[in-house]
Structure 1
């Protein structure tokens, strides 16, 4: 299956990786994203934990400042280097979600945000989360189901086709809605899920990580033509100029306890 969404394992080879890194930093500042982070922080118990898929390290720095010693883990060397440069007082390590460098039952909490979308074997990653957590430890995973994406458009049918193609192009595009069942299958108890809205009223914040890859995924899948995608994008740009652009999706925050 064609993979369109950025894979930061390859960011070192990208022509302008700093542009990607800068975009991530701007994105994390948007109020909807900050609200999701705050929600996950509130669900974590005291003690030491890991932020899996830590990216540029914002959550690790926040949690450390809140008195929850955190280690950031990311499979991308570029992300880990960037996080260390940005927050040098915090701890980061290069590691895959399915092979974390921690002893059994050594952590109090486990957090992951917008990462399980890119994990092809989420159950294996959750088994690793269960392994590193102490009995009674908490896991919190926040992810979208990209099929929840809706947007203003002059061609709703084409928009639905583009969104479906993007969802299907990802390793685990339905991660958000799959997580409660996967938590239970991995042996977590007291599983809860909350749905948080992510809404944007301008095109710029969502163009690089949603609109552009969605259009590319739809063309690659043969769902639409390049001309159709160009016309679709022009329509979105017109709405943006008029101040009537809107796109929204849902972030699902799943919490469970390691028995």
Structure 2
């Protein structure tokens, strides 16, 4: 450990098993496409993907901006940035993707240099969300859009787990985030950062196929790491969810708050 808080350290240093899962995750699909519609990303734009992870979204954005555009992939983890480069080469878009190692305190981009900046499930991990969004504002050109997607762990539903055991599980796991309820706080954070025409929507698709099982297993690791909950209680929550998945009765909902704000000045 480096002395960093856990919510930051566990992204700077990712163990091989978790990294392996991330290599195959963070993909681009129809559900992701819907989340990014409000960002209004188009050909020729200069775009930043903040908290880019392994870069599958960055590659998708590079395809959207075309040969005349540029994508800046920003992340706190150097191994993720290597994966961004690999994925960009495979997709044939490496000429329009640049990587930056950064934790969001001060973005490595010039004033008024971007048309769009996006962040998916990343603002919940920064030290000061409003300050980071003020950095988003700084690097945008007048008329540019900031676009953020974040969850709210306390609004998640996992059947068939009873309310209180699930609440205790989420509470223990939440030490992995600076703000595990960031979704509900995005709107006011955008306003406080100076954005205008701030718009918010909530997308809450029901997962009955097991797509969010990996997230719940990661939350279980975080819960145990916290030392605030009995490990057997954590294992019981996970076993209930996994058994429901095996029996075809599984249902998990994790609402995503989608917020956009404009820099008008």
With the length of structure 1 as denominator, give the TM-score of the two structures.
0.86
Equivalence for 1:61: 59
The runs of 5 or more residues in structure 2 that have no matched partner are: none
Is residue 190–residue 257 contact of structure 1 (8 Å, CA) maintained in 2? yes
Are residue 10 (structure 1) and residue 16 (structure 2) matched?
no
Is residue 170–residue 219 contact of structure 2 (8 Å, CA) maintained in 1? no
Is residue 51–residue 71 contact of structure 1 (8 Å, CA) maintained in 2? yes
Equivalence for 1:98: 105
Is residue 72–residue 100 contact of structure 2 (8 Å, CA) maintained in 1? yes
Give the ranges of 4+ consecutive aligned residues of structure 1 lying more than 4 Å apart after TM superposition: none
Shift of 1:180: 0.6
Does the residue aligned with 1:8 lie in a helix, a strand or coil? helix
- CA RMSD of superposed structures (Å): 2.5
Q: 2:36 aligns with which of 35, 40, 43?
A: 40
Does the residue aligned with 2:111 lie in a helix, a strand or coil? coil
Equivalence for 2:245: 240
Shift of 1:135: 1.2
With the length of structure 2 as denominator, give the TM-score of the two structures.
0.84
Is residue 45–residue 138 contact of structure 1 (8 Å, CA) maintained in 2? no
Change (3 A) 1:10 1:139: same
Is residue 112–residue 140 contact of structure 2 (8 Å, CA) maintained in 1? yes
Higher relative contact order (CA 8 A, sep 6+): 1
- Count how many residue pairs are aligned between Structure 1 and Structure 2: 250
Equivalence for 1:130: 137
Is residue 200–residue 257 contact of structure 2 (8 Å, CA) maintained in 1? yes
Moved more, 156-165 or 137-146: 156-165
Does the residue aligned with 1:99 lie in a helix, a strand or coil? coil
The runs of 5 or more residues in structure 1 that have no matched partner are: none
Is residue 208–residue 251 contact of structure 2 (8 Å, CA) maintained in 1? yes
Does the residue aligned with 2:255 lie in a helix, a strand or coil? strand
Equivalence for 2:82: 81
Shift of 1:178: 0.4
> Could you list the per-position Cα deviations for residues 73-93 of structure 1 after superposition, in whole angstroms to 9, with x for gaps in the alignment?
112111101111121313222
Change (3 A) 1:147 1:154: closer
How many Å separate the matches in 1 of 2:250 and 2:8? 22
Shift of 1:130: 0.7
How many Å separate the matches in 2 of 1:73 and 1:211? 26
How many Å separate the matches in 2 of 1:187 and 1:244? 45
Is residue 147–residue 167 contact of structure 1 (8 Å, CA) maintained in 2? no
Is residue 74–residue 95 contact of structure 1 (8 Å, CA) maintained in 2? yes
Does the residue aligned with 1:256 lie in a helix, a strand or coil? strand
Change (3 A) 1:189 1:74: same
Shift of 1:228: 2.3
Does the residue aligned with 1:28 lie in a helix, a strand or coil? coil
Moved more, 58-67 or 126-135: 58-67
Are residue 151 (structure 1) and residue 158 (structure 2) matched?
yes
